[in-house]
Amino acid sequence: MRRSAITSPIIPTLALILLLAGAFCAPAAELDDSNLFVEAFTAYQKKDYLLAIDKVKQLTQVFPDTPLKDVSLLLLARSGLKSGDNTLAARTVNQFIGEFPANPLRSSIEDDLLALGTRLHKGEKLAENRTLHLAAVKVRNEQLAVERAIAEKQEQERLARLRAEQERIAREKAELERRERERIAAEKAAKEAIRTATAITVEKSRIALAGQDGALPFEIANNTKNSEEYLLEASAPAEYGAHLSAEAAPGAATDRVTIGAGQSFKGVISFHVPSDRVDGERKNMALKAVSARFGDVALTRDTQVTVAAPLVRVVARPASQSIVPGGQVRYRMTVLNIGSRTAQDLTGRLILPPQFEFPDAENPQFHREAADTLSFRIDPLETGKMTEYYLNLKVRGDSAIGQEVRCRVEVFNGQLQRRDTFASSSATVQAN
């Protein structure tokens, strides 16, 4: 017995449920699979089959895993059949049967669709139903014409409202523009007066010591005819912890000052240079003064802060790069200060590899801290100076032949609370 898409109760019932759910649960502008299906089904009911096809294709592309895929495929197949696209109808109904073989909706498929699917499956090339296609195109064009007419009417109404609003605005615009021109002119004059009559004096460069506090004095002079309030901001690397204060009260932070006409404010940017900064490191520090009345009136002065610090390096070498089990090896350690400040309060530690033994009697400068760790005191080193230490070690008799051996030297700078580690040149254990 032949089944009809119009009389089949399953698709219309499900679509009605989705339509009601969409009306009460989803915003009109929200794109989801339920809304798209309802739009497609509504178009199908209005015999706008081409629009129904477009909506179902959009649904399956945007939501490939939609739970409405079964009913969407049936709607697409029926729309293809009604619009004369027999190939689309046959391909889609075959897809439905392939993906949903046990779906109860299979019993609602029209015989015409099933027949087209069978013919396509057998390899037959299906011709388009020209009459149905032209009818579908006619419906689509008529619907587009209706939509254009509605849109044109809405646009005409919008333009009428716009013209009325523009006429209302025009009656007020002239007076508002006059007042605004006067306000802008007065504000511009006030801003220019602050820019040109405010002077900030601060050093362009400054040397700061690593691990110590630093201070950068500045002065702001208000040469305007009115008392002015300024918002102050110090810009510096976060690790410097820069803060502003008045020169008269260096411990009290401030970020807002009022300066009378012809008066000046003296302040200081206080900061602390971290101990791990290297000699010669350059950082920018800036003082910014912003008018409290006009946020776009700002004056900035930059200072380059250069870090001064000792820079210690250690070069440790064995007298020979070849050592033998049971033999002796002599190391020379050179400690250099290539920084711009004297290195003080230095302590060295030498960590020996397991292949070495330490004869205490031969090395009075070194003190044993552990079986493999020695310590030694390093005298203060002025910039550009160096000092040398010699160490006699014994190679253990059980050292493996061919093994590469290195010592490690640590230098702790108590002045900066900084520890640096250096590796010696290597020596290789050779056979006797």
> Does residue 366 share a domain with residue 290?
no
Supply the pLDDT for residue 219: 94
Looking up residue 396, the CATH number of its domain turns out to be: 2.60.40.1510
Shortest CA distance to 299 belongs to which of 390, 200, 413? 200
3-state secondary structure of 421: strand
The torsion angles phi and psi of 30, rounded to 5 degrees, stand at -80, 130
Any residues with CB less than 8 A from the CB of 98 and at least 6 apart, and which?
none
> Does residue 103 share a domain with residue 51?
yes
Last residue in a domain, options 308, 323, 345: 308
Rounded to whole angstroms, the Cα distance separating 346 from 348 reads 7
Show the 3-state SS of 228-296.
Answer: EEEEEEEECCHHHCCEEEECCEEEEECCEEEECCCCEEEEEEEEECCCCCCCCCEEEEEEEEEECCCCC
Neighbours of 34 (CB within 10 A): 20
> Does residue 328 share a domain with residue 386?
yes
> Does residue 333 share a domain with residue 273?
no
Q: Is residue 103 part of a domain?
A: yes
> Does residue 385 share a domain with residue 373?
yes
Looking up residue 231, the CATH number of its domain turns out to be: 2.60.40.10
Q: Is residue 303 part of a domain?
A: yes
Rounded to whole angstroms, the Cα distance separating 371 from 351 reads 9
Q: Is residue 19 part of a domain?
A: no
Mean pLDDT by 10 residues, the chain (432 residues): 38 39 43 91 94 93 92 94 94 94 92 93 93 93 92 94 91 90 90 90 91 91 92 92 88 88 93 89 93 92 94 94 92 94 93 90 86 92 94 91 94 90 94 81
Do the Cβ atoms of 351 and 412 come closer than 8 Å?
no
Rounded to whole angstroms, the Cα distance separating 309 from 207 reads 10
Supply the pLDDT for residue 20: 35
> Does residue 411 share a domain with residue 322?
yes
* C-alpha 418, offset from chain centre: 33
Q: Is residue 66 part of a domain?
A: yes
Shortest CA distance to 47 belongs to which of 80, 82, 23, 72? 82
> Does residue 384 share a domain with residue 359?
yes
43, 56, 91, 99 from 95: Cα distances, Å: 22, 14, 6, 6
Tell if the pTM clears 0.75, that is, is over it: no
Rounded to whole angstroms, the Cα distance separating 315 from 409 reads 9
* Number of domains present in the structure of the chain: 3
Last residue in a domain, options 95, 128, 161: 128
Place of tokens 């609003």: 165
Amino acid at 257: V
DSSP tag of 399: P
Rounded to whole angstroms, the Cα distance separating 60 from 50 reads 16
Q: What kind and span of H or E run contains 361? A: none
Looking up residue 79, the CATH number of its domain turns out to be: 1.25.40.10
Neighbours of 348 (CB within 10 A): 21
Supply the pLDDT for residue 30: 67
Structure tokens that stand for 402 in this block: 């061919």
Place of tokens 């801003």: 191
Rounded to whole angstroms, the Cα distance separating 154 from 170 reads 24
From the DSSP assignment, how many helices (H) and strands (E) are in the chain?
Answer: 7, 22
* C-alpha 359, offset from chain centre: 57
> Does residue 384 share a domain with residue 341?
yes
> Does residue 45 share a domain with residue 113?
yes
> Does residue 323 share a domain with residue 264?
no
Beta-sheet pairing, 205-209 with 298-308 = parallel
Could you list the beta-strand ranges (E) of 76-227.
198-202, 205-209, 213-222
Burial of residue 196 (number of CB atoms within 10 Å: 0-12, 13-18, 19+):
exposed
Q: Is residue 355 part of a domain?
A: yes
Angle between helix axes 86-99 and 69-82 (nearest 10 degrees) is: 160
Supply the pLDDT for residue 40: 93
Structure tokens that stand for 114 in this block: 């099933």
Domain with 373, as residue range(s), is: 312-429
Rounded to whole angstroms, the Cα distance separating 417 from 188 reads 54
Give the CA count within 13 Å in the CB-facing half-sphere of 199: 9
Rounded to whole angstroms, the Cα distance separating 418 from 214 reads 19
Supply the pLDDT for residue 10: 39
> Does residue 324 share a domain with residue 295?
no
Q: Is residue 146 part of a domain?
A: no
Structure tokens that stand for 48 in this block: 């706008």
Do the Cβ atoms of 212 and 275 come closer than 8 Å?
no
Rounded to whole angstroms, the Cα distance separating 266 from 250 reads 11
